[in-house]
Amino acid sequence: MILFRLALRSHRTGAIATLAIASLTGLGNSIGYAVIAGPTPEERALFGRQMSLLGQQLTYLLPPPLDLDTMGGYLQWRNYGTLAVFFGVWALLAAAGVRGDEERGIVETWLAVGASRAGYLASRLAGFAVVALVVVAASVGITDVGAIVGGDSSLGGPLAFEALALLAFTVCIFGMSLVVAQVAGTGRSAGGVGAIVLAALFIANSAARSGVGPTWLADLTPFGAFDRDAPLRPSGAFDPAATGALLAATILFGALAFAAFVRRDLGGTVGLVRVRSSAPATTRPAGDPLLRLPVLAAITQQRTWLAGWSIGFAVMGAFLASLTRVLLDSLGAIPAMRVYLDRLGGGGYDSFAGIMWLSTAMLVISAFTVAQVGGWASEDGDGRLEALLAQPVSRARVVLERLASFMLGAAFLVAVGAIAVLVVGAGRGLELSPTRQLGGAALMLSVPFALAAIGATIAAWRPRLAVAVIAAVALWSYLIQQFAALFGWPDWLARTSLFALFGNPLAGDVDWPGIGALLGIGVVATGTAIVSLQHRDVGR
C-alpha cells in the first residue's frame, strides 16, 4: 500500500499539467465551437462543409473530419484527435520516470527492505492507471461543462465512453513505454527511445489516414485503435473491440516489462535478452577526448538521446514535405482557402512547406525543452550537480554550459528537420529555397532559447518545480496562440505567448521586435538563473 501511495505521488506533477491541458482545450473547443459555427442549424451545416474540406487535408495530424456540423463531431475531431498526442507523451514521460527512479536509488532502497520486483512494478502500473483515470474523468467532466455552456447538453453519455477509450489508450502507451524503459540504460534514454517509438506509431497511423501508406498500418498502432472509437459523432459509436485490444495490449506490455525487470540488474541495460559484454572492466578514465571539453562533454553524454530526437525530426520533416504538394493543390482549389492562404503568405510551395514544418516543429522542440529542463532538475537530487561543483566548477559555468549544450543540440535537431524538408521537397519537385527554410529554422531557435532559460532559472531556484513551471509556460503559449484570435482577446494578451512572439517568418515579414523580445527574455532569464544558483544550497 505504501508503494502504491508513492506511485500516486510520483505522477502528481505530470497529472496536473495534463489535466490543465485537457481541461483548457476541452473548454476552449466546446465553447469556441458555439462561437465559430453559429447558433442555427443552417450556419452549422455551412461551417461543417467548409471545415470538412480543410480537415480532409489535415488527416496527417487529425482523424477524418466527420459530422462537423455538430459539437460532438467537432470535439471528436479537433479536441480528442489532438489530446491523444498529449496523453501519449505524458504516459511516455511517466514510464521514463520509473526508470529514472533507479538512477536515484529509490528502487534499490525498496527492494532492500523486502519489496518484490513484481510488487514494485505492479504498484507503478496501478498507480499510473488510477491517476490517469482521475485526469481523464476530470477533464471530460470539464469538457461537458463547456459543451453545456455552448448549448449542447446531450454529450454526457458519449463523453463517458470517450473517457474509457482515452483511458485505455493512455495506459496502453504507458505499458509500452514501460517495456522500453526496462531495455534503456537511463531514464533519459528511455524517454528518447520511447519518443522514437511513439513518433513512429503516430506517423504510421497518419500515413494510413492520409493515404500515403497502407491502411493496415493503422491497425497495428494504439493511435489507430483510438481513432476507431468515435462515440461523440452522431454517425460514430464506441468500439468495444478497439478498447479491449488496447487493454489487452496493456496487460501484455506489463508482462513483458516484468519479464525484463526480473532478468536484469538494477541500472543495467540488459532487457529480455541477456547479452554478455566483451569489454573488460577498467578503472581508467574514458579515452574520449570530447568528454574533457566544455559543452561538448554534455552533448557526448546525450548522444543516444539526441540521435533518437534527430531521427524523429528527420522523419517528421520528410513526412510533412511529402504532403506539401497534395495539400496546397487541394486547398488552392477552394476559393475561400486560396484567399486565406494568400493572406497568410502560404500561397507558394516554399511558404506552405515552411508553415507546416515550423508550426509542427515548434511543438516538438518545446517538448524537447521540457524534457531537458527535467534532466537539469534531476541532477540536483541524484548527486550529479554536487559532483560537478566539487571538481571544482563555478556555478555560473554550470548554467552557461547547460544552456550552451542545449542550444547546440536544439540547433542540430532543427537543422536535421529542415534538411529533411529540403531533400524530400526537391525529390517531389518543389522549388524550396534553402536560404529561406534554414533561415526560418534558425530564427525558430529563439523560442527554445527563451523557454530553456526560464527553465534553467526555475531549476536553479526550485528544482522540484522546474518541469511543472516550464510545462505551464509552454502550455500557456500554445493555448493563447490557439484561442486569442478565436475569442477576440486583446493583442497584448496574445503577445504573452512565446509562439506568438516568434510569428511566422516564412509566411511574411520577420517579426524582429518579437524575435528581439524572445532573445531578451532568454538573456535576462540566464542571468537570473546564475544568481539563483549562487544563492541556493545544492539539494535544497
317-331 average pLDDT score:
71
Q: What are the residues whose beta carbons fall under 8 Å from the beta carbon of 149, sequence distance 6 or more?
A: 30, 31, 34
The share of the chain scoring above pLDDT 70, in percent, equals: 85
Q: What is the per-residue pLDDT across 170-191, written as a single tens digit (0 to 9) for each? A: 999 999 999 988 887 677 677 7
Give pLDDT tens digits for 208-260.
Answer: 887 766 777 778 899 999 999 999 999 888 999 999 999 999 999 999 988 88
For residues 80 and 133, what is the distance between their CA atoms, to the nearest angstrom? 16
So what's the pLDDT on residue 487? Answer: 65
Give the cell for residue 141.
Answer: 467532466
Per-residue cell: 72: 460532438
Type of residue numbered 508: G
> Going by C-beta distance under 8 Å and a sequence separation of 6 or more, which residues neighbour residue 40?
none
pTM: 0.77
Q: CA 83 to CA 51: how far, in whole Å?
A: 19
The per-residue pLDDT of the chain, averaged, comes to 82
Tell me, what amino acid is at 437? Q
Q: How confident is the model at residue 389 (pLDDT cuts 50, 70, 90)?
A: confident
Quick one: pLDDT at residue 17?
Answer: 81
Residue where the block lists cell 503559449:
477
Using the predicted structure, report yes or no on whether residue 277 has a pLDDT greater than 50: no
Question: What is the pLDDT at residue 102?
Answer: 79
Is the pLDDT higher at 488 or at 181? 181
The per-residue pLDDT for range 295-308, each reduced to its tens digit, is: 887 888 777 778 87
Give pLDDT, residue 218. 78
